[in-house]
Structure 1
Amino acid sequence: MSAVVVVGTQWGDEGKGKIVDLLTKYADLIVRFQGGNNAGHTLVVDGNTFIFHLIPSGILYEDKLCLIGNGVVLDPSVLIGELEELKSKGLEITPQRLKISYNTHLIMPYHRALDHAREAAKSKGKKIGTTGRGIGPCYEDKIVRCGIKIGDLMDPELFREKLKENVEAKNFILEKQFGAQKISFDEILREYERYREILSPYVDNCSFIIDEALKNGKNVLFEGAQGTQLDIDHGTYPFVTSSNTVAGGACTGAGIGPSRIDKVIGVCKAYTTRVGGGPFPTELFDEVGDRMQVRGGEFGATTGRKRRCGWLDGVVLKDAVRLNGIDGLAITKLDVLSGFNPLKVCTKYKGRSGTWEYMPGTIREVESLVPEYTEFNGWDEDISGIDSIDGLPVQCQDYIKAIEDLSGVPVEIVSVGPGREQTIVLKNPFD
């Protein structure tokens, strides 16, 4: 029996979906514990590409149980769309294969309306870069205790009562503060009554299911979304998401105690990317960054937005190791760096008030940072077909070793391409 958490070590888009899909082979339960459909996990299996926004990445294994935990904010229309798309590809997801915690909060149409209105009202340079999916406003309602859980949706009278109160309050803000169009109570009620009929068989007590599985010697895999530097408490605030993306979020977002976690795997892209606004110390604005973006296919799986690209940020990586208690690293997209010479890794920052070996706590200091780099020899070989660590070019092996030395954590998985088979597993975290 083991419980393993997979988290991102950067600003998201590290390739967590592929690593979760790979490790699902050894797990019995796969649990998504935070975030919403602002995250997109891309999997390539047998030449077919799948993009999941809410359904855990382990769903492609037909003998596994996937859970959506209470820490997730759920847009029912998106989830139903994913279920329908999988069905069209011959994968019908029954309630025996997917469960939703009854404590999961629902994204409502007024959340999306508020998200768009607030971002539009911000001046240039202060925009967060929100996806407009209503994630933040939904988490906001959860915190101020006026949110609507999927368990509430199962109670028609309670749902109607809570919806009426919220629509009145949100319409006041939309109309008076932002001059935006009001939303219709009746339309939302009819829409969500349909969602109730479809989703009610999937609603369950996920905390209890996880606990029973661990008691019975099952392996549980916890899947996080986004990355450490997007954590609401520990990221580059305010340019962050609205949930705790670090490993500790698996406990609150799934309903288990911290002593039940056995191992944390941090997924680290071989270089660094970021989508949307916010500071990015190692960002490249030259031909090297453009080539990295094209070779890596760096477009957001959710938004299609071009990802900003830069060299590997070792300061960000070390912060992630400390904040998550990372036991092992999974390095992804190493193949993208073939042909780049030299390679650079940031080891510290110079800021307006001195040298930093961790991310400063104030946004103005963060925005002043200039990275200090260590250079490494690159390699020219195509490594996408190599299936052993010893088969990699020496310079490639040296780069991996440098990441281990800098982070203080062993590299246990190396991805050399998008396919499930294009992965070198040095150590199985469930062993």
Structure 2
Amino acid sequence: MANVTVIGAQWGDEGKGKLVDWLSNRADMVVRFQGGHNAGHTLVVGNQTYKLSLLPSGVVQGKPSVIGNGVVVDPWHLLEEIAKIGAQGIEITPDLLTLADNAALILPLHRDLDQAREAAAVNKIGTTGRGIGPAYEDKVGRRAIRVGDLADREALEAKIDRLLAHHTPLRRGLGLPEYDGAELLRALEEIAPKILPFAKPAWLSVNEAVKSGKRVLFEGAQGALLDVDHGTYPYVTSSNTVAGQAAAGSGLGPKGPGFVLGIVKAYTTRVGEGPFPTELFDAVGQHLGTVGKEFGVVTGRARRCGWFDAVLVRQSVMLNGIDGIALTKLDVLDGLETLKICIGYEVDGQRFDYLPAGLKAQSAIVPIYEEIEGWAESTQGARSWRDLPAAAVKYVRRVEELIGAQVALLSTSPQRDDTILMRDPFQD
């Protein structure tokens, strides 16, 4: 049985939550390997809707779940999320949830810095203001406070001093008051007993699970086009979101993540600033946003909407080594007479079949479209291939041809069971 790594193959918000929840039924463990609480997954199970930001989707299924070392963790938010899910009838215990003891923490000073920078910026990135970027900066700057440090007051004191030596000049430059180190120490000592019961060497738990033949599902956040190396830089997140991060962010070797499933929306959306070649500002764009309920799980911000961009998804397929895709929200296209798919770019008269790296070139892209017939019938809730209109089947097949990957799963509504399975990633 293969392990499976699930990643977003666009700019995030592709419907990963539902698919990870669906796959969790077949998995023995679910591992979150990057990002922070700036990303959210919505899981609709019957009449119950769960909104998760840090917690792996496996907790809803009662599957052992891991927050890996590649994640940056706001401990206060984590406790709030555990309480919120608990109020919905799911008790999060240390037997269910493992928190990597070497994961870096997001602190209040990170949130302050994130929000102050965004407010002062002329060219805004469009961050969520939750401290994710500054926390990753401290991690790579070797001054982060990590989960395991909460058990050692002496280490905490020394690390807080080092942290403030860096942050104090930054805060002064942004007009923020100096942060009180003693206050931070008190806050961390207060929360430590509530967090430490979940702290373990997560890498060991994951490796033991794989070695014993368990099926492990690796869950990413955001999307490949927000990757700090491969995305639309600088309008990206602060971590690697591609499938290769599943190994580094969980402490597993590079062969462990197994089958790579790319989640792809049947159209394209983006939250925040940055290039978006196929963005629509007309009635079709409004239709996609309204029917698709395109609002961010975490921030509530309206998502920008546009036609399917095969150029970008084909690039994601290569960057992530995608073995198959899960195509979501096909039903949102119901009723549109004509559909368009971006098959190439033109920049200053030059044709591109990939996203150029330069921001200036990205901003100047003119999409080259192919038109395809739409369908009037409803695809919502379809659970088999033969339930789909012929034009919808043609659209899916054309998407497969253009991106160089086959559809393994097709999602036709937010409900868990409204999923057409063509290829089981765990059986591959």
How would you bin the TM-score normalised by the shorter chain?
Answer: over 0.9
Q: Which amino acid aligns with 2:330?
A: L
**Kept after mapping to 1: 8 A contact 2:97/2:198:** yes
1:49 positional shift:
1.1
Counterpart check, 1:191 vs 2:187: yes
Which residue matches 1:325? 321
**Counterpart-to-counterpart distance in 2, 1:261 and 1:135:** 25
How far apart, in 2, do the equivalents of 1:261 and 1:116 lie? 35
Deviation string, structure 1 residues 190-211 (Cα, Å, up to 9, x no partner): 2211221001111111111111
- State the partner residue of 1:418: 414
Q: Quick check: 1:167 aligned with 2:164?
A: yes
Segments of 4+ in structure 1 off by > 3 A?
Answer: none
Decide which of 140, 145, 169 is 1:143's aligned counterpart.
Answer: 140
* Structure 1 counterpart of 2:43: 43
Q: Distance in 1 between matches of 2:256 and 2:36?
A: 24
What residue number does 1:239 align with?
A: 235
List per-residue Cα deviations over 1:57-89 (Å, max 9, x = no partner).
111112x10000000000001110111011112
What are the Cα deviations for residues 203-222 of structure 1, in whole angstroms up to 9, with x where unaligned? 11111111111111100000
The answer on whether the counterparts of 2:56 and 2:66 sit within 8 Å (CA) in structure 1 is yes
For 1:55, the equivalent position in structure 2 comes to: 55
Tell me how far 1:314 sits from its aligned partner.
0.3
Please, which moves more after superposition, 374-383 or 229-238? 374-383
1:153-302 correspondence runs (5 A): 153-175=150-172, 177-302=173-298
- Once the two structures are overlaid, the 10-residue window that deviates more, 150-159 or 27-36, is 150-159
Contact 1:2–1:218 (CA<8 Å) still a contact in 2?
Answer: no
Q: CA deviation at 1:428?
A: 1.1
- State the secondary structure of the residue aligned to 1:67: strand
Contact 1:2/1:214 (8 A) holds in 2: no
CA shift at 1:171, angstroms? 2.4
Q: TM-score, normalised by structure 2?
A: 0.98
Q: 1:181: how far off?
A: 2.7
Q: Does 1:74 align with 2:73?
A: yes
Separation in structure 2 between the aligned mates of residue 237 and residue 274 of structure 1, nearest angstrom: 14
Looking at structure 1, the residues matched to 163 and 141 of structure 2 have their Cα atoms a distance apart, in angstroms, of: 12
User: How far apart are 1:167 and its partner, in Å?
Assistant: 2.6
TM-score (norm 1): 0.97
Corresponding residue SS for 2:272: coil
- C-alpha contact (below 8 Å) 2:67/2:98 kept by paired residues: yes
Where in structure 2 are there 5+ consecutive unaligned residues?
A: none
1:27-38 aligned within 5 A: 27-38=27-38
The answer as to 2:398 corresponding to 1:402 is: yes
Give the Å deviation of 1:259.
1.8
Q: Tell me what 1:112 maps to.
A: 111
Instruction: Write out per-residue CA displacement over residues 315-368 of structure 1, whole angstroms, 9 at most, x where no aligned residue.
Output: 110010000000000001111110112011101000126111011010100000
Compared CA separation, residues 72 and 353, structure 1 to 2 (3 A): farther
Whether 2:130 is the aligned partner of 1:133: answer yes
Q: What secondary structure is seen at the aligned counterpart in 1 of 2:255?
A: helix
Equivalent residue letter for 1:158: A
Provide the rounded CA distance (Å) in 2 between the counterparts of 1:51 and 1:381.
31
* Length, aligned pairs only: 427
Query: Aligned to 2:264, what secondary structure does the other structure show?
Result: strand
C-alpha separation in 2, matches of 1:419 and 1:248: 29
C-alpha separation in 1, matches of 2:141 and 2:405: 39
Counterpart of 1:413 in 2: which secondary structure? strand
**1:2 paired to 2:14:** no
> Would the aligned equivalents of 2:218 and 2:257 in 1 still touch at CA under 8 Å?
no
Q: 2:374 aligns with which of 378, 397, 422?
A: 378
| Structure 1: runs of 5+ lacking an equivalent | none
Q: Secondary structure at the match of 2:249?
A: helix
Conserved? CA contact 1:247–1:264, under 8 Å: yes
Matched residues, percent identical?
49
SS at match of 2:426: coil
Q: What's the RMSD between the two structures over aligned residues?
A: 1.0
Q: Distance in 1 between matches of 2:64 and 2:188?
A: 26
Partner of 1:16: 16
**Distance in 1, Cα, partners of 2:382 & 2:236:** 36
Q: In the alignment, is the contact (CA less than 8 A) between 2:343 and 2:368 conserved in 1?
A: yes
2:392 is equivalent to residue 393 of structure 1: no
Contact 1:110 1:167 in 2 (8 A): no
Contact 1:47 1:419 in 2 (8 A): no
Partners in 1 of 2:284 and 2:349 — Cα distance? 29
Distance 2:373 2:192 in 1: 57
